[in-house]
Amino acid sequence: MTSNTIAGDIQLVGLTKKYGSSIALDAIDLHIPAGSLTVIVGPSGCGKSTLLRVISGLETATDGELLIGGLPVADHDAGDRDVAMVFQDYALYPHMTVAANLSFGLRLQARHDRRGGPSKFDIAERVAQVGDLLGLEKLLDRKPAQLSGGQRQRVALGRAIIRRPQVLLLDEPLSALDSQLRASARGEILRLHREIGATLVLVTHDQHEALSMATHLVVMDSGTVAQSGTAETLFHSPATEFVATFVGSPAMNLQASGGGRVGWRAGDARLLGADAAGTAAPDGLLVTGITEMCEFTGNGQQVSVRDGDRNFALAQREGERWLRVGDPVRAVIAPHQLHHFDQNGIRRNV
Ligand code: ADP
């Protein structure tokens, strides 16, 4: 156990969580590296929240082992794990000021542990530090009702980090914010992660959030880990069709090929000129169809193409040929940009 006693390192070994006879987590093996910003994604009901709750100690695993900082935590209560969690529906104490909300946990600790707990001076200093870190300095005397949604969310984060946990768990922390606030909150979480140095584990259903923030991305499927690794690895080398279609937007195009399926990303198809019709296609997969729908995306165009009873997506960037509804399409995908899957949906490297 000596090789792996790193604060913030999380290791799940054959971890299972059952609710009655239903299996929420099915013998999960997963390593969440110390100091990583690990993002967990997956369809609703796949076990994301259960995973966070088991790590936090709010739920107890049915079977398997959980190590935090290299030590088995089975014997530790939630309060002793040095793990903090921020919920989707974070509830602040409405009758307390921001400062009192921030210091609540520390004051409790001081009362229970008079000798080892933090002093009044420590608490005031930490409130000031967290206030600075989260830009709440001028709001410390306000009550939650006098704050915006984004400010309340920052107080909830502050309340979690004031105890300097080695692990911070965030369950859909940005879902209550509108899209503009989400963008700035994403930036704040990245900055916070850099400054507090804790391992941050975040659950989201937002593709953009997942790909842009994660140093480590975990895709879950029916209580199992479908794949984990860097966002780049999962995007460029998905281990299964499930991961290929779940990570990235639009979903990877897939079509039958030699007993299995072949997939490609919308942005990897290169349009061939209209005058190329009838000429031999270059190396790679040739796809053809009729433009059915075009969406302007700001820096490009996302195009839906129909080929008989099949649809596929193309992405055209600024400066490339723009398509209009009804236009015929001929496009080619280079061999190295094709993803091959066998009949069970498992990646084949060819
Ligand atoms: P996600 O967060 O990915 O949406 P959850 O972790 O909430 O998924 O749930 C995983 C599975 O466990 C689901 O099938 C859900 O219905 C079930 N589940 C979650 N919590 C409970 C509970 N307290 N009692 C019974 N079943 C639960």
Domain extent at residue 261: 251-348
Among 188, 210, 241, the domain boundary falls at: 241
Residues 233, 164 share a domain: yes
Strands (E), the chain: 10-19, 22-32, 37-41, 63-68, 71-72, 83-86, 167-171, 199-203, 216-221, 224-229, 253-257, 260-264, 269-271, 285-296, 300-307, 310-317, 328-333, 339-341, 347-348
State the CB neighbour count (10 A cutoff) for residue 205: 13
Mean pLDDT (the chain) is 90
| CATH number (domain holding residue 170) | 3.40.50.300
- Residue 207 inside a domain? The answer is yes
| CATH number (domain holding residue 309) | 2.40.50.140
CA of 10 to the centre of ligand 1 (A): 21
Residues 172, 108 share a domain: yes
Please state the domain count of the chain.
2
Residues 329, 225 share a domain: no
Residues 217, 176 share a domain: yes
- Which two three-digit tokens encode residue 159? 């309340």
Q: How far apart are CA 333 and CA 271, in angstroms?
A: 9
- Which two three-digit tokens encode residue 68? 């935090």
Identify the residue whose C-alpha is closest to ligand 1 atom 10. Answer: 47
- Residue 103 DSSP SS3: helix
CA of 24 to the centre of ligand 1 (A): 6
Residues 269, 230 share a domain: no
Residues 325, 213 share a domain: no
Q: How far apart are CA 209 and CA 216, in angstroms?
A: 12
Residues 56, 150 share a domain: yes
- Residue 215 inside a domain? The answer is yes
Residues 298, 164 share a domain: no
Quote the pTM value: 0.88
How does residue 76 score in pLDDT terms, banded at 50, 70 and 90?
Answer: low
Residues 234, 177 share a domain: yes
CA of 18 to the centre of ligand 1 (A): 9
Is pLDDT above 80 for 115?
no
How does residue 275 score in pLDDT terms, banded at 50, 70 and 90?
Answer: low
Residues 328, 184 share a domain: no
Mutate to test the pocket of ligand 1, among 16, 44, 50 (most ligand atoms within 8 A of CB): 50
The CB of 48 under 6 Å from ligand 1? The reply is yes
- Residue 1 inside a domain? The answer is no
- Residue 208 inside a domain? The answer is yes
The CB of 24 under 6 Å from ligand 1? The reply is yes
- Which of the two residues, 78 and 239, has the higher pLDDT score? 239
